[in-house]
Structure 1
Amino acid sequence: MELTRVIKSPILTEKTDTLRAGGVYTFKVDYHANKHQIAQAIETIFNVKVTKVNTIKVEKQPKSVGRFHGFTNRYKKAMVWIEGDSLNYLPEDQEAVESEEAKASKAEKAAKASEVENKVAAKLAQKKASATKAAKAPVKQTTTRRKMGAE
């Protein structure tokens, strides 16, 4: 079995959050995967050392939606103990780091833009001050007037 197909998704509940603080991570895994395959997949994907793996087979349960009756899918749950490391499989953690970097780059761009605006404003002020009076003389408007009646 391919290692990328062993792990389906992390299981995120209040109980798994408390376990994660102790170094135990819970995943939904392929129903036919064994403990050795699960440990190998976790070690290669996340680059950590797995100490222990416990697995639980969760059977299908009857559910009904309105008048329709059916079953949930069965799956295998794996609880993985990890030595001293931590896994970063939550997208919020990655987004927080990326957003901090984006904010820093935006601040740098804004500072550069304000410097450029200040330089341009100074040049414009200097040009206006050095402009000659001839250039500032008002230009006579030439408009045609319509003659009405006896004019």
Structure 2
Amino acid sequence: DGLEPLKRRPLPTVQDAVQKRKPVLTNENLTVPLMLRDQPIGAIGLQYDKKNRSWTQEEITFIQSIGEQFALAAETLRLLDETQQWAARERLVAEITTKLRASHDPQAILQTAAEELRIALSAKRVQALVKPVPEESKPETPDPQRGET
């Protein structure tokens, strides 16, 4: 059988093992928490048909070791996925920045930015508004008649 799909009811000892952060043994179940940096991230539960099964310390230690390796592998995959997402975002930012720098027209830059955001985020519409610069904030235009350049 192997792994059970998540839609099935978990073993009754799973929640207990996660809360207690230690193995839970019953007559037919052995459940060990999956720990990552001293935090429970899940549990591995084994169930046998045989009643009154006794678990050896060797079996418990073995399952705990498997759980530790599983938790590390899961964390490695999570970090890899996070890194790949970050790299994809950075590539997209670089591509958009290159397109924005290709123009010196503020309106074209704004339109390009809005369109690139719409595409990148699969949005139906993007709207960007820029508040006009007040006249007193604009740099003075040099007056050639006064000898300014």
Report the TM-score range of the alignment, normalised by the length of the smaller protein: 0.3 to 0.5
**TM-score, scaled relative to structure 2:** 0.34
**TM-score, scaled relative to structure 1:** 0.33
- Point out the structure with the larger strand share: 1
Higher relative contact order (CA 8 A, sep 6+): 1
- Point out the structure with the larger helix share: 2
